[in-house]
Chain A
Amino acid sequence: MSKYIVKRLLYMIPVLLGVALLVFTILSLTPGDPGSIILGITAKKEDIAALNTQFGYDQPFFIRFFNYVGDIIFHFDLGTSYATRQPVMDSILARFPNTLLLAVLSMCLSAILGISMGIFSAVRQYSVMDHVCIVVALVFASMPGFWLGLMMLILFSLKLGLLPSFGADSLRHFILPALTLSLPSAAGLLRLTRASMLETVRQEYIRTARAKGASNKRVIWRHALRNALLPVVTTLGSGFGASLGGAIIAETVFAMPGMGTLMTTAIRQKDVPMVMGATLFLAVLFGLVILAVDIMYAFIDPRIKAKYQNGGKGRE
């Protein structure tokens, strides 16, 4: 098992290099240079050029790229932002807790809502409540997240005055953004859990269990759920990655200082070090989450654990 984890961690290195190259390339294709973006159109050409030189932006593409990667590897330094002239790491660390809290909260919310309602729906297949759940889930899954956010903002902040409209000062500030982010994904999870439960119930071993006279409850909780949750856990894992991405939009709607708003601003300002730093930071996190999900898999499904112990090749 630990051999497998080490192997996976090592594999992250080339992937991260790939991510760095990919984003760096796209960014270098964006027009404009940081000097003129920061100083504006009334600035003198010399001042702009001086600033660009100061940023090292006058160097050719590959030199800039290797310098950047070199700094990360040898000095453990994500560089200095063009726009803020502060270390990128500081900006990230100042905002990351908000995004993490938002992502974790919304993932928990959607897991609790989605899985419980999914089981509920599956157990009472074709009942009125099942239909209500399915319809509600469908509506939320089909909604643009930011639209839902704006609607809730009007209702809960402006009209009812129950919740704050912006910022990240207290847990209360996270309620609306977390709901915005979690409701659509909870809807997806509900559908998935329900389908997965229904499919599992039809499997041979469940029939066998039933035939052996196990109670309905026992069949569901002991046998069906465990197996039905497998695909759900995968989705939840990649869902965490998605909610980190989705946070970009939720943070914009609720003016929350997080990674999302940080990156959108940075992309617009062509703040290369900031975009790179934030992307790599998220990519590392994402890689770790996927790894954690794979390990979790092993605990839920003993067959996979056996595969790892045979020095297996991952999930293929």
Chain B
Amino acid sequence: MSKSRKHAQLSEFWRRYKKNKTAVMGLILLVMIVGMALFADLIVPYEKCIEQVGADRLQGPSMAHFFGTDEFGRDLFARVVHGSRYSLLIGLATSLMALAIGAVLGASAGYFGGVVDNVISRIIDVFMCVPPVLLSLAVVAALGTNLRNLIIAITVSCIPGNVRLIRSVVLTTAEQDYVEAAKSYGTSNARIIFRYVLPNAMGPIIVNTTMSISTMMLSAAGLSFIGMGIQPPSPEWGALLSNAQTYLFAAPYMLLFPGIFILLSSMAFNLVGDGLTDALDPKLKD
């Protein structure tokens, strides 16, 4: 593919994406949230979110503390702002890792077929039979609770779905003429998979990954909520909610703000995912 053709494709894609107003809104929201995570230190120093002021415990929202304070007297606004780093990191890291592993396994299964496909598919069948939350819980229990293990646990639980998706996408792509052509030239298998098959199966994969970031953020919050999250005093959003549950009645605002931010970011990824679906698949928009 020549550069200019690629460029033309991109601008055509952007033109279609732009037409979708909600998708653009989602993108703006996403940029804002990512911006908040990137520039968290400029918004409010990290020191603020671990600083404990005993006298200020459990204060409701005010001008001094926009989102109030928690039971340690820590500023919740600072914690929510810096928490975005953890939650986005978890969402991105798990989705990308699951994508990478899913791509290798799914593409191998779909492309080679036969024994390879059989072995991979049967292993995936086994994983699919265990509820994902349970699998994550068991993995965290085995490895211990910290950021890295949380990411591993969630990744493990969503690999099977990715393998299945990529396998089926590759199955359809691998039958296309250009792949047959490449094979006849004697191109290596790995090259065919990464050069021809996967890029052409990219549409559904990109959409799925975008949407899965949202799902992953929600599952991470869920695990944190039942106390299997990351180590304190890191301000991950799910962990903030888990704390807030204890003070459900005394300080409901503790539950409100982190929840809204999880909701907004997860919504942003969903909206962008929707927008990508429509933009990549123009036939839906005639």
A residues touching B (Cβ–Cβ < 8 Å)? 14-16, 18-19, 22-23, 26-27, 29-30, 134, 138-139, 141-147, 150-151, 153-154, 158, 195, 198-199, 202, 241-242, 244-246, 248-249, 252, 263-264, 267-268, 270, 275, 279, 282-283, 286-287
Out of A22, A142, A252, which one reaches B263, CB within 8 Å? A142
CB proximity of B71 to chain A, nearest CB, Å: 17
Q: A145-B222, A150-B248 are in contact. List 7 more A-B contacts (CB 8 A).
A: A26-B139, A138-B270, A139-B267, A141-B270, A142-B266, A245-B132, A246-B133
Contact A287-B138, Cβ < 8 Å, known A142-B267, A147-B255, A147-B259: no
Those of B153-174 within 8 Å (CB) of chain A? none
Contact A144-B138, Cβ < 8 Å, known A22-B126, A150-B255, A241-B131: no
User: Which residues of chain A are near B134, meaning CB under 8 Å?
Assistant: 245, 248, 263, 267, 279, 282
Inter-subunit contact A138/B271 (CB<8 Å):
yes
Please list 22 pairs of residues, one from A and one from B, whose beta carbons are closer than 8 Å in the complex, sorted by A's number: A15-B126, A18-B122, A18-B125, A26-B138, A29-B143, A30-B141, A30-B142, A139-B263, A144-B221, A144-B238, A144-B241, A144-B262, A146-B221, A146-B222, A195-B284, A252-B225, A263-B134, A263-B137, A264-B137, A282-B131, A282-B134, A283-B130
CB proximity of A314 to chain B, nearest CB, Å: 11
CA–CA, A150 and B262, complex, Å: 15
CB proximity of B268 to chain A, nearest CB, Å: 8
Inter-subunit contact A18/B126 (CB<8 Å):
yes
CA–CA, A138 and B137, complex, Å: 27
Inter-subunit contact A22/B137 (CB<8 Å):
no
Out of B122, B138, B259, B264, which one reaches A27, CB within 8 Å? B138
Interface string of B224-235 (1 = CB under 8 A from A): 011000000000
User: Which residues of chain B are near A27, meaning CB under 8 Å?
Assistant: 138, 141-142
User: Which residues of chain B are near A142, meaning CB under 8 Å?
Assistant: 214, 218, 262-264, 266-267, 270
Interface string of B247-286 (1 = CB under 8 A from A): 0110010010001001110110011000000000001101
Out of A26, A141, A143, A198, which one reaches B142, CB within 8 Å? A26
B8 at the interface (CB under 8 A from A): no
CB proximity of B249 to chain A, nearest CB, Å: 7
Q: Is the interface of B mostly helix, strand, loop or mixed?
A: helix
Among all A-B residue pairs, the 5 with the closest Cβ atoms: A245-B131, A18-B126, A142-B266, A142-B267, A283-B129
Q: Which residue of A lies closest to B218 (CB)?
A: A144
User: Which residues of chain B are near A264, meaning CB under 8 Å?
Assistant: 137, 226
Inter-subunit contact A147/B241 (CB<8 Å):
yes
Inter-subunit contact A18/B266 (CB<8 Å):
no
* A-B pairs with beta carbons under 8 A, tally: 129
User: Which residues of chain A are near B222, meaning CB under 8 Å?
Assistant: 144-146, 249
CB proximity of B234 to chain A, nearest CB, Å: 18
CB proximity of A9 to chain B, nearest CB, Å: 14
CA–CA, A267 and B141, complex, Å: 7
Inter-subunit contact B131/A147 (CB<8 Å):
no
User: Which residues of chain A are near B123, meaning CB under 8 Å?
Assistant: 18
Interface string of B144-188 (1 = CB under 8 A from A): 000000000000000000000000000000000000000000000
Inter-subunit contact B225/A249 (CB<8 Å):
yes
CB proximity of A241 to chain B, nearest CB, Å: 7
Q: Which residue of A lies closest to B140 (CB)?
A: A267
Inter-subunit contact B133/A23 (CB<8 Å):
no
User: Which residues of chain A are near B127, meaning CB under 8 Å?
Assistant: 22
CB proximity of A7 to chain B, nearest CB, Å: 14
User: Which residues of chain B are near A16, meaning CB under 8 Å?
Assistant: 129
Q: Which residue of A lies closest to B241 (CB)?
A: A147
User: Which residues of chain B are near A134, meaning CB under 8 Å?
Assistant: 22
Inter-subunit contact B130/A279 (CB<8 Å):
yes
Inter-subunit contact B141/A198 (CB<8 Å):
no
Inter-subunit contact A143/B263 (CB<8 Å):
yes
User: Which residues of chain B are near A153, meaning CB under 8 Å?
Assistant: 248
CA–CA, A115 and B143, complex, Å: 41
Inter-subunit contact B241/A245 (CB<8 Å):
no
B245 at the interface (CB under 8 A from A): yes
CB proximity of B35 to chain A, nearest CB, Å: 19
CA–CA, A151 and B267, complex, Å: 18
CA–CA, A249 and B133, complex, Å: 9
Q: Which residue of A lies closest to B157 (CB)?
A: A245
Q: Which residue of B lies closest to A286 (CB)?
A: B129
CA–CA, A249 and B219, complex, Å: 10
Q: Which residue of B lies closest to A26 (CB)?
A: B138
Q: Which residue of B lies closest to A241 (CB)?
A: B131
Q: Which residue of A lies closest to B131 (CB)?
A: A245
CB proximity of A281 to chain B, nearest CB, Å: 11
Inter-subunit contact A146/B225 (CB<8 Å):
yes
Interface string of B10-47 (1 = CB under 8 A from A): 00000000000010000000000000000000000000
